[in-house]
Structure 1
Amino acid sequence: MLRHRRAPRRRPRLPRAGEPQVSPAALAPPAFEGVKVVELAQGVAAPYCGMMLAQNGASVTKIEPVGYGDWSRGLGRRVGDYSAEAIVLNRGKRSLALNLKAPEGRDAAFRLVADADVVIENYRPGVTRRLGLDYETVATANPSVVYATVTGFGETGPNRDLPATDTVMQGYTGFMSINRDTEGVPRRLNMLAIDVSTGLYLSQAVSAALYRKAVRGEGVHIRTSLLECAMAFQEARIVAEVFDGAAVKPVGAPVGTFPTADGYLSLNARRDAHFVRLCDIVGHPEWRADPRFASEQQRVAHAADLNALVAPFVAAHPTDWWKEKLSEADILHAKVHDYRELMDDPQVVEMEAIGWAEIEGLGRLPATRLPGLPAASARSAALAHPPRVGEGGRAALAEAGFGEAEIEALGACGAAVYA
């Protein structure tokens, strides 16, 4: 349990003669080493927060249903207990499968949360109270607990009991409205952007609460929702809707994704100096004198016209030709990669931004580094093993004070599955 006192500092080993200099932060233990987290959560948003805490050194025990486990294990293709999302969301955690409908399962869960520094839950409003695992009940046994609740639409209001997912929230909060296809139809972004951003916001709130707990010894009940986080994520576009009457108004021109002779190019030449240099590259200096393109604001007002003029020139040359010319002119651009290309990109390789984790039965899979961690810690955390349903559960029970006989009894009555 995290206590209201400073942990003793470890003296980092100094580099020997000839060794590269390493910052003290890179040699220090992970920030959340010793922090116990119990994750009463399924899906993506709340488990993403748990993964962030685990990557920073916390001991995270994931409580999931007996049998199928967390439903995120079935997002997309499932192989055994794994899906792509489950591999990412559960790196570095332990799993304990509990039947929370059984008194023995609920009692076991309560003993775990009573011993935790952090509890993360994302049940619908009222469910944890029925289970006896709500903040008020847990706080009677664990007053300094940091208890984080994530709901879909919030805990009050007409939509409080409605189911909510990333797809629902992309539509409900206007996210699809700023991602329209060529026919003007709002489209879902093909990744779990709302869920992941919610997990990021929640991990920030939990980190701040852990600091408060360490300094002042106080616990707190953090409440947020997919709705609030989705709106915070889009705040600039929401402001733009009122500020200039168009959330999807172009930020500049010529800006956009343009087909090349062999792929696609992301181009941003909105600044005056960049536009002048682009005119030289395409051989049309007279565009500079066109009153429609005389300033950044004028180019925004006539963005469709300008992008239509630029497009045929981009399409006439391969992507690498454009990369060379635009780099020489210091104009913002990027080749539009697919993920296979990205993993082999020299810059990505140099930064070690992607490692490769060996998972039994699945082989080698990519693992991205968590931004902000020292390189060695990030590599280690990224390659941490994601558990199967129940894997690591026996150790989690033992650490919470369960005796061997109690652990065996939980398994024998079907209230728990562990390994």
Structure 2
Amino acid sequence: MFENIRVLDFTRVFSGPYCTQMLAELGADVIKVEETTIGDETRNWYPIKEEWSGYFMALNRSKRSLTLNLKTEESLKIIKDLVETCDVVVENFAPGVAEKLGISYERLKEINPKIIYLSLSAYGQTGPNRTVKGYDPIIQADAGVMSLTGDQNGAPVKTMFPIADISAGLYGAFAVSAALYKRAITGQGENIDIALFDSVVSLLGVLTAIPFFTDNVPERMGSQHPHRVPSKNYLTGDGTYLHVICNNKQWLELCEVLDLEEKYKKTPYTTDIGRLNNRDEIDGQVQQGLLKKQGSEWVKLLKEKGVPCSLVNDIAQVLNKDQTKARDLIVNWTQGNLGEVSGINFPYKFLHAESKIQRPVPKLGEHNVEILKEFGYTDSDIRQLKLDKII
């Protein structure tokens, strides 16, 4: 789908590499530019096997690696050659760093006016927090996610998966795709500014309806839904947890399966608001009923009645689920000395195209020679670049 698109990728750690890996596995030629000695710092992050980082591998499939010392004039010459043939540039330096390095949008659009340039950062290129450093947990705290996560009477906690990095990477890839479409029509390049903070705030959409429409501020509710009852994790007879959620029709089915008293099949319990106003009573009745059987038994019974439910699975259980395998959410590829390895696939399902791994995760600088030769550099030129510590 992006087979004729070339991306120059100056990103590292998570949000940027996640974004560019999406583009790569939709067919783009992504050239990952890395620091000459250690590269992307996540090459050394846990877990490590045979000198490969599982963290790095999860975010950098299907790319080519080019090492450059960005503080040298010769590197800027190479970047100029690359930018002339690139469609997209992605960077996630702190605001102002790209400008100091001579690779800002303003500088690169002089070389290629049609370039689409994406900047990913903690707080964006404008605003009072523009220069403030922020990693995913900081953004989760600052953007309100932590205030909503955890038990009702417990301390705020972060989500285990990096929601700020992931959402910024997703918004970034979507914005690049939109800009490519616009450029195909108008011929005009674009400068895109995506902030982790903005991305998380934008995800709060439905929850902000509460303070926008009332004087209430959403608070932590553990596994409970703020306005759907029942909806929480309930303990079952074998110690497993089951999450159940119902609309009005499904509530009646749940009453039947749990053999609840007839009064629960009448108002006020048959309306969303009625159940919400009687949350503690409803939760008590459902919890008492679910302790009578094992979790797996309840799943079978409730699904037969069309009541949405799921056991609370751990990650190993998710990876082994038939549904996970049927949806091709696990991909395998050959990774050098590691042999066959596995990772998580992107979830797109196209009728006439596919997202797929284009190449294994690159070693640091693995494609230096290949890429430079594409731009006319000779073996002698490349040897000299190595001697001068440019690559």
1:132 match: 102
1:395 match: 370
3-state SS of 2:208 partner: helix
Residues 201-220 of structure 1, C-alpha deviation per residue, up to 9 Å, x if partnerless? 11011011111222221111
Distance across 2 between alignment mates of 1:283 and 1:345: 30
Distance 1:235 1:400, change over 3 A: farther
Aligned residue identity for 1:352:
D
**How far off its partner does 1:226 sit?**
0.9
Residues 36-87 of structure 1, C-alpha deviation per residue, up to 9 Å, x if partnerless? 1000111211111111110110000001112221123344323465333311
1:240 match: 210
Matching residue within 135, 152, 158 for 1:188: 158
Q: TM-score, normalising length from structure 1? A: 0.85
2:241 match: 264
Q: In the alignment, does 2:387 pair up with 1:412?
A: yes
Distance across 1 between alignment mates of 2:127 and 2:26: 35
Distance across 1 between alignment mates of 2:253 and 2:71: 67
Distance 1:406 1:287, change over 3 A: farther
1:110 match: 80
Matching residue within 46, 49, 52 for 2:19: 49
Q: CA RMSD in A?
A: 2.2
Matching residue within 278, 282, 291 for 2:258: 282
1:326 match: 302
Distance across 2 between alignment mates of 1:85 and 1:237: 32
Greater shift after overlay, 307-316 or 318-327? 307-316
Distance across 1 between alignment mates of 2:380 and 2:53: 34
Greater shift after overlay, 240-249 or 158-167? 240-249
1:144 match: 114
CA contact (8 A) 1:152 1:225 kept: yes
Q: In the alignment, does 2:328 pair up with 1:357?
A: no
Aligned residue identity for 2:218:
A
Aligned residue identity for 1:407:
I
Residues 81-132 of structure 1, C-alpha deviation per residue, up to 9 Å, x if partnerless? 5333311211100011211123323332333223311000111111111111
CA contact (8 A) 1:370 1:378 kept: no
Distance 1:365 1:268, change over 3 A: farther
Aligned residue identity for 2:251:
F
Distance 1:297 1:246, change over 3 A: farther
Residues 216-248 of structure 1, C-alpha deviation per residue, up to 9 Å, x if partnerless? 211111112111111112222223332242435
2:318 match: 342
3-state SS of 2:132 partner: coil
Distance 1:35 1:230, change over 3 A: same
**How far off its partner does 1:378 sit?**
4.3
Greater shift after overlay, 147-156 or 279-288? 279-288
Distance across 2 between alignment mates of 1:85 and 1:240: 37
1:24 match: none
How many percent of aligned residue pairs carry the same amino acid?
28
Matching residue within 208, 214, 225 for 2:184: 214
3-state SS of 1:138 partner: helix
Q: Which runs of 5+ in 1 are unaligned?
A: 1-30
How many equivalent residue pairs? 384
Aligned residue identity for 2:316:
R
**How far off its partner does 1:144 sit?**
0.6
Distance across 1 between alignment mates of 2:316 and 2:357: 19
3-state SS of 2:370 partner: helix
3-state SS of 1:235 partner: coil
Distance 1:383 1:314, change over 3 A: farther
